[in-house]
Amino acid sequence: MIESLFVLSPTGKVIIEKHWHELIPRRVVDYFNEQVSKAMTEGEDVTREDVLPIIASPKYQLINVYRDGLTYLSPVTKEVDPMMVFEFLHRIPDILQEYFGQVSETVIKENFVTVYQLLEEMMDDGFPLTTEPNSLKEIVPAPNILNKVVTTLGATTSVSTRKMPHGMSNLPWRKAGVKYNSNEIFFDIVEEIDAIVDSTGKAVSCEAHGTIQTNSRLSGMPDLTLSFVNPRLVDDCSFHQSVRFNKWESDKVLSFVPPDGHFRLMSYRVNLPSQQNLPIQVKPSINIGANGAKFDITVSLRSTDGKPVENIVLTLPLHKSTTTLTAQCNVGQYMFDPVGKVLRWDVGKIVPRERAPVISGSFGFGSASDAAANAGYNIGVEFLINSHSLSGLKVDVLKLFNESYKPYKGVRTMTKAGRYQVRA
């Protein structure tokens, strides 16, 4: 049972609180803030992210989610499956995002009545009630300018123009009576590569995580079937509630009645063989002495089917005792953050068969220390390749049943670096 929710600002102040069961005194927030600051002073490089998601106090278990600077705190008194609480707490910002486009302290304050209503509908007496964005929008209208203008211009009648939605759809995730002039549906297949690459350039672990983000703008109750050219590639997957699990089990096709608007149709994982050619190669070499180190890092393209790799950014967190850094790079620009001790190199775009970007330079430690000299270095890599799918998963055909129109269909693919890390 999830009894209460406090949403805390980055400074630990309560922005909004909601009690579904009984009032929980605000003292608990003070206790929580104390614990957080205590935890954060414990180690040298402990950040807010390192604070435990469940903090036990004498009376409550303080379940907290930290996301985008806001803390969603739910004190519970009794045994409860913590995963359910986390899942629910994460749904809240998801839905606020859906409603307001972004989630921040100001957004919540500006729309607090709507937020309050949403919280009321999402939970009933400690048990999740309606968490599907499409159903919620039937009950709590999303604020948008169009709504306002329509009600203002339809001036003559009283405000009860916003009649109560009469026909709710029989599918919790889809509104009834959706109508578009042009029917279209777009699929964005985004693959993120998670990899750990060791200093010799060999992948220690490597896998692609794909999501199919869908934007559906279809009228009525369309029933879709999406099939892939090579569905066997998929190693493991999870689906939106609308997808019929059995169909995937038996035929490896996605059969579903889509929600209206944006939603994530499917997430999947593809294990890449460790011999798999990663799209780019980062070759670091760091020679460390007692007082500092010399380094150079080369980035080169590997297999991308001739597509350019864009938005390449390398970040190299340095040891805490680093004070100075000088470097030169032939492409892009670099920046050293002397507070966070991070070197960030914005490489930009690499086109195949161009000369490889290199950065070289040296950094010095403020005081000679063994610890600094023995520390290992990890380079974080970001990049983006358009219209490329590393796993090779391809959409074959989309069929539409139940409606007579012919929708416009679009599929885009994109490969990004996910948790991509190179050890030096």
Residue 232 is classified by DSSP as G
Q: Do 286 and 266 meet the contact criterion of CB atoms below 8 Å apart?
A: no
| Cβ proximity to another protein, 64 vs 304, nearer residue | 64
Judged on CB neighbours under 10 Å (0-12, 13-18, 19+), 389 is: buried
Rounded to an integer, what is the distance from CA 122 to the centroid of its chain?
Answer: 22
Q: How far is the CB of 290 from another protein (least distance, A)?
A: 10
Q: How far is the CB of 199 from another protein (least distance, A)?
A: 10
User: Smallest gap, in angstroms, from Cβ of residue 186 to another protein?
Assistant: 20
Instruction: Give whichever of 50 and 337 is closer to another protein, judged by the CB atom.
Output: 50
Q: Whole-number minimum distance, CB 86 to another protein, in Å?
A: 5
359: closest CA among 383, 384, 382, 336? 336
> What's the token pair of residue 182?
């042009």
Which residues in 6-42 are b (16+ Cβ under 10 Å) and which e?
A: bbbbeeeeebbbbebeeebeeebbebbbebbeeeeee
What's the closest the beta carbon of residue 273 comes to another protein, in angstroms? Answer: 12
Give the start-end residues of each E strand in 272-407.
280-288, 292-301, 309-317, 322-329, 333-337, 342-350, 358-365, 378-386, 395-401
Q: How far is the CB of 221 from another protein (least distance, A)?
A: 6
Type of residue found at 264: R
Nearer to another protein, 219 or 225 (CB): 225
Task: Please give the angle made by the CA atoms of 128, 132 and 133, to the nearest 5 degrees.
Answer: 125
Residue 352 CB, nearest distance to another protein (Å)? 29
Residues 6 or more apart from 42 whose CB is under 8 A from it?
none
Nearer to another protein, 95 or 301 (CB): 95
Instruction: Tell me the helices (H) and strands (E) count for the chain, helix number first.
Output: 8, 23
What would the two tokens of residue 239 be? 């689906």
Q: Which residue, 195 or 331, has its beta carbon nearer to another protein?
A: 195
- Shortest Cβ 337–another protein spacing (Å): 16
Q: 350 pairs with which residues across the strands? A: 309
The nearest distance, CB 303 to another protein, in angstroms, is: 22
Residues 6+ apart with CB under 8 A from 361: 294, 295, 296, 325, 326, 327, 328
In the complex with another protein, the residue whose CB is nearer, 45 or 355, is: 45
Under 8 Å between Cβ of 297 and 284: yes
